Structure 1
Amino acid sequence: MDIFTEYFFQRALIGGILIGLTAPLMGVFLVLRRLSMIGDTLAHVSIAGVALGFLINVYPIGVGLLFALLASFAIERLRKAYKTYAELSIAIIMSGGVALATLLFTIGKGFNINVMSYFFGSIYTLDNTDLWVVAGVTVLVVAVIAINYKEMFLMFFDEDAAGVSGLPIRFYNILITMLTALVISVSIKIVGALLVSSLLTIPVACSLLVARSFKNSVFWAVLFSEIAVTLGLIAAGWWDLAPGASIVLALIAMLICILFVKRGLRL
């Protein structure tokens, strides 16, 4: 059977490629802000929203997206309150997200199986509505970054200098967190809440080993991500593997190869 002729695989490939573009774009800025773990936090909050969506019979990804956006505002508010211990905001919101998701699981035991697919990903079940939502988020993320590229570049490399030059630091902090929330919300059905942060961080980790400039690192991060998504989905389709896990393992394999090559060049 040629998997490329199957509509479910074509939808999965399109959704994966779109997320493979947006996730590392956001990941570069998160790594520069030293907020790599924010992906896990927003993913767990999104799962609580998904659970509520099933409970009240409303589009789960839409409710998860709303929860993630609210969590992004809360994180920024807490980061401002705990300036010296900004990482506390992530821990607090993650704890609240896990607690709320657990509570909703106990209330709606009948939909636990459906919600569990969002933990591990179910990219083969993407429908046309899901693809339109993912495509909309992709267009929004790419457009915002393209329009504000210079300002965001300055802010994330030297926030103090950006503030002195008159850039609205708080606005850009909230903006990048909100965009991250959108990306994570639409990604959890593709790679799962437990693996979504991998798409944000591992391509960036690979790019930082080979890139020589910021723009270079963005290019390499997206390239590594797209290669991993494509190879992971093809391998999963041919050998009946878990797609989300295959994508992440492909990324880790690339990271290991790059580390070995760089070590070999130094010897």
Structure 2
Amino acid sequence: MNVFQYEFAIRALIAALVIGLTAPALGIYLVQRRMSLIGDGVGHVALTGVGVGLLLNQSPILTAMLVAAAGAVAIELIRERGRTSGDLALAILFYGGIAGGVMLVGLSSNRSNAALMSYLFGSLNTTSPTDLVVIVGLGAVLLAAMLVLRPALFAVCQDEEYAKVSGLPVRALNLLLAVTTAVTVTIAMRTVGLLLISAMMVVPVATAQQVTRGFRSTMALAMGVGLLAAVAGVWLAGQVNTAPGATIVVLAIAAFLAVALGAALRRTLHRRSLPATTRPTAELEPPDVVLER
């Protein structure tokens, strides 16, 4: 059965393609900064924004974006000033965001579990034309920013002190990354889901790093992996009737495992093909520290 003969499936595919392209483009900077889990933290805070929107009968997407952006900026300022460690700040985002979101959703008039689950894990099949316009518009802006500012963002992620000496606006660029993370999480809320979007930021990048060395090539391959996982995930979800967001993430992880195993096998075969005299040998321990039997 061709699932793409239906209009809702076409909208779902376009939305998934946008997320599959933009999430790795942003995620590569987060991976370089060793902040791979910030997407999860911002996603939990965005859930609080969803609860605020439902409680006040406002657009959950708008309130989620505002609350997530505020949370991301706050965590970046805390990290910059060094008042608490990065993992502790992320833990506060995790627990406070999810607890506040569930509590506010429970207080709102829309208390159905289906509504909450659609934001947590995505609901591609219910993507409306309005949702699609917002996703495509914001996705295009995010992708343009990540590509145009790539040299400056790369410098900041590699060495902030060097970037400051070079005259780059380090704080502004760090805040830009924080805000774009919040926006990416928000636009992915209706597609992949708040709890799964971080995987699309990190897993394609980790996959590309197995076979590439340069930053530009890693970024390009990660975006390609994200696109492939998005297309295959939407198609497979339509065939086997599974959640599209979860299917996309599972396929992305499967691609990572396949590439990682292939890279390991290639390295093993390469070492075995070398002459015995050129093979790397393990360093022996000094005699004075060798354990006696």
TM-score range, shorter chain: over 0.9
TM-score, length basis structure 2: 0.87
Determine the C-alpha separation between the residues in 2 that align with 1:57 and 1:119. Answer: 19
Give the aligned CA root-mean-square deviation in angstroms. 1.4
| Paired position in structure 1 for 2:275 | none
| Paired position in structure 2 for 1:72 | 72
Query: Which structure is larger by alpha-carbon Rg, 1 or 2?
Result: 2
Q: CA deviation at 1:66?
A: 1.0
Q: CA deviation at 1:89?
A: 2.1
Which of 190-199 and 75-84 deviates more? Answer: 75-84
Per-residue deviation, residues 194-247 of structure 1 (Å, max 9, x unmatched)? 211110100011011011200000001000011011111100001111111111
Determine the C-alpha separation between the residues in 2 that align with 1:93 and 1:235. Answer: 33
Q: Which has a greater percent of helix?
A: 1
| Paired position in structure 1 for 2:233 | 232
Equivalent position SS for 2:191: coil
Determine the C-alpha separation between the residues in 2 that align with 1:53 and 1:84. Answer: 30
Q: Give the letter aligned to residue 151 of structure 2.
A: K
Query: Unpaired runs of 5+ in structure 2?
Result: 269-293
Q: CA deviation at 1:54?
A: 1.8
Are 1:206 and 2:201 an aligned pair? no
Determine the C-alpha separation between the residues in 2 that align with 1:239 and 1:103. Answer: 34
Assess if the C-alpha contact under 8 Å between 2:32 and 2:157 holds in 1: yes
| Paired position in structure 1 for 2:143 | 142
Q: CA deviation at 1:266?
A: 1.9
1:176-215 residue pairs with structure 2 within 5 A?
176-215=177-216
Q: CA deviation at 1:102?
A: 2.5
Determine the C-alpha separation between the residues in 1 that align with 2:141 and 2:104. Answer: 31
Assess if the C-alpha contact under 8 Å between 1:51 and 1:115 holds in 2: no
| Paired position in structure 2 for 1:99 | 99
Assess if the C-alpha contact under 8 Å between 2:78 and 2:84 holds in 1: no
Assess if the C-alpha contact under 8 Å between 2:54 and 2:105 holds in 1: no
Are 1:36 and 2:39 an aligned pair? no
Q: Give the letter aligned to residue 74 of structure 1.
A: A
Q: CA deviation at 1:84?
A: 6.6
Assess if the C-alpha contact under 8 Å between 1:79 and 1:87 holds in 2: no
Equivalent position SS for 2:111: helix
Which of 45-54 and 33-42 deviates more? Answer: 45-54
Determine the C-alpha separation between the residues in 1 that align with 2:185 and 2:227. Answer: 17
Determine the C-alpha separation between the residues in 2 that align with 1:109 and 1:212. Answer: 52
| Paired position in structure 2 for 1:123 | 124
Between the aligned residues of both structures, percent identity stands at 36
Q: CA deviation at 1:128?
A: 1.2
Assess if the C-alpha contact under 8 Å between 2:19 and 2:139 holds in 1: yes
| Paired position in structure 1 for 2:247 | 246
Determine the C-alpha separation between the residues in 2 that align with 1:84 and 1:62. Answer: 29
Per-residue deviation, residues 41-78 of structure 1 (Å, max 9, x unmatched)? 11111111112212222121111111111111111121
Determine the C-alpha separation between the residues in 2 that align with 1:84 and 1:94. Answer: 15
Assess if the C-alpha contact under 8 Å between 1:20 and 1:226 holds in 2: yes
Per-residue deviation, residues 176-197 of structure 1 (Å, max 9, x unmatched)? 1100110001102111122111
| Paired position in structure 1 for 2:257 | 256
Residues matched between the structures, number: 267
Q: Give the letter aligned to residue 175 of structure 2.
A: I
TM-score, length basis structure 1: 0.95
Runs of 4+ in 1 over 6 A off after TM superposition: none
Q: Give the letter aligned to residue 72 of structure 1.
A: A
Assess if the C-alpha contact under 8 Å between 2:39 and 2:197 holds in 1: yes
Query: Unpaired runs of 5+ in structure 1?
Result: none
Determine the C-alpha separation between the residues in 2 that align with 1:120 and 1:157. Answer: 33
